[in-house]
Every structure is written in C-alpha cells, then in structure tokens.
Copies of this chain bind each other. A is one copy, B any other.
Amino acid sequence: MARPTMDDVAARAGVSRALVSLVMRGSPKVSDRRRAAVLKAAEELGYSPHAMARSLASRTSHVLGVMVSDLHNAFFAEVVDGLDAVAAEHGFDLILNTGGRSPARERRALRSLLSFRPAGLALLSPVVPTADIGRAAEQTPVVLVARSSRLATVDTVNDDGERGIALAVDHLVSLGHKRIAHLDGGEGSQAAPRRRGYLAAMAAHGLAPRVVGSEYTDVGGARAVRGLTDDLPTAIVSCNDFNAVGAISALEEAGFRVPRDVSVVGYDNTSLAALRHVSLTTVDQPRNEFGRLAAEALLQRVRGERVEPVRHLLHPSLVVRSTTAPPVRPA
C-alpha cells in the first residue's frame, strides 16, 4: 500500500518533479514529448496525485463541507444530491457529516468540517445558534439551506412557503371552492410561513379562514379531520404530504370520497404523493435545486465573484393530481 509519489514518476520519466506537477495540473507549457513520457510513467506506476498534499501546498481546497441535520430525511438527501452534482461538475468533493439536530453535536461536526479547511460550507437546516454560524463564516464561505439568517456574511436558500400555500389555495378557489380549511403544522420547521400564506391567500379571495391545529404526520392529519366532520369544508390544504394522506384516509373511513366530497392538497411532493394509489395534488419544493443553488453560491464566493450575501427564495410549484376537483356539495 506504499503508493508512488511524484518523485517516483519523475524518476521513471526522466524529468523533474516540478514537470510532473505541471503535467498533473494540465498546464499548457509542457512539450508534448515530455507530457507523454510523464503520463506513461504515471500510468505504469498507477500514480494518482495526493489530494491532501496538493491542497496543503497550494493553499487552496477543492472540498466543500456539508453538515446535514438528518440524512434519514429524504428532503436532505436530495439536497445533498444537488450539491454533489454541482460540486462534481466543478471538480469539488464533498465532505459530509451529520449534526443530529443537537447543538452540541452540530458544533462538533462544524469543528470537524472546518479542520479540513474546506473551500466552503453548506449547512442544511442547522440548529446551532447564529453566533456559531457567524464564527464559521469568518473562516470560509457559508450557505444556509432551509434556515434563514440576517447574517451579512452568509448566503441562504429557502423555499417560499407562503407562496406555495397560496398556490394551493388559488387552485382550489379556481375550482370553485370557498370553504377551505388548513391543517396546520404547529411547531414544525416551515409551518409558520405556510400558515401565514394560507391566511393571506384566503383574505385575498375574501374567504373566511379556518385553521385546524395538526402536525406533520399522517396520524395528525387523520386526527384533525375527525374533529372536522360535523362541519366539513369542501377542501383541505394540509401542511405536508403525510398529513394530507392521513386526512384522506380518515375521510374515507368516515364514508367521504376524495375528491368528490372533499378536495385535499398536500405539500412537499414527496415520492409518496406520486404513487398512483395516492396521486396527491401537492406543492413541489425543488429540493435538488436547493442543493444546486447552495453549491453555486459557495463557488461564486470561492471564485471571488461575489461578496454581498445572496438570499434565494425558491418558487414552489403546484403539482395537480387526482385529489382535487370542483366541489359537488354546496360551497
């Protein structure tokens, strides 16, 4: 396992180490003859440059640090997917760890990532105090995903939850619905903007709002619906897809049919929503795009193309499937 170094390649090719370095970096100022000789020697020895030594010597890094609060969650996995795609395009590698939604563990994770002197750092929905984020931002460019911040030194990428819910409400109104309830996500991470969006959209249409406390789970959705059956609205806007699916199954158990009796809209466009068995009308968050934009924001700073912070607020989009239809019962 003692791997060959540049000196070995240089010796074999009969040139100096510096020349090998130039070839490895693809410099144009090397004659074709030498370049061929070096590449041949490298090939024969199975040589490949040592990324860490390279990074140390050049005082530059081609590594982006990523802290995920929870990879278990498909949302973050897709964001990382997007980050990875852009990073790979530009010859960057990802170094990754998780914070487990605990400030202490996140702080440790942050320290570990910074010890690699990454070119940039992407924090996905971190829970550490802003002060820690600010401190990290003194060392390297930082982008926050699914968490906003007023720090002038960090970029952010978020989804416009208010607008997303407005999309859902507008869709239902255009179908003819007037009695539209919102199953609220409570303390959940993006529940507040979604609730605000619902209230604003209802007001804009001159309709009376009806917010029902619930949570981001299918059980929560089902429970909320059970408290609704004596005065059933014609449409429901759930705080997320799981909640919507729970609501639907409770409705069906109570003898109602979706979308005939009640229309239901979810939020997130998880893979669940796309199942033909479910076929849920929902609001799509461009998760992969979150990752791409986050990576691009970092790379812009790395290249020195930008200094002022950027705040991406991505437009969600409505995906209409089979759980929404014009109301049949009196509106």
Report A's interface with B, CB cutoff 8 A: 1, 3, 46, 48-53, 55-56, 63, 70-72, 74, 76-78, 80-81, 84-85, 88, 93-98, 109, 111-117, 135, 138-140, 218-219, 222, 242, 245-246, 248-249, 271-272, 275-278
The answer on a CB contact under 8 Å between B111 and A48 is yes
Residues of B within 8 A of A135 (CB): 46
Main secondary structure on chain A at its contact with chain B? Answer: helix
Q: Mind listing 15 A-B residue pairs with CB under 8 Å?
A: A48-B115, A51-B116, A51-B117, A56-B56, A63-B95, A71-B78, A71-B81, A71-B84, A72-B77, A72-B81, A84-B97, A84-B98, A96-B96, A245-B277, A249-B276
Partner of A97, one of B88, B116, B249: B88
- Chain B: minimal CB distance from A192 (Å): 25
A52 to B55, CA, bound (A): 8
Residues of B within 8 A of A112 (CB): 51, 93
The answer on a CB contact under 8 Å between B139 and A3 is yes
12 extra interface residue pairs, beta carbon distance < 8 Å, beyond A3-B139, A51-B117, A52-B55: A50-B56, A50-B117, A56-B56, A63-B95, A72-B77, A74-B77, A93-B95, A95-B96, A218-B277, A245-B277, A271-B272, A272-B272
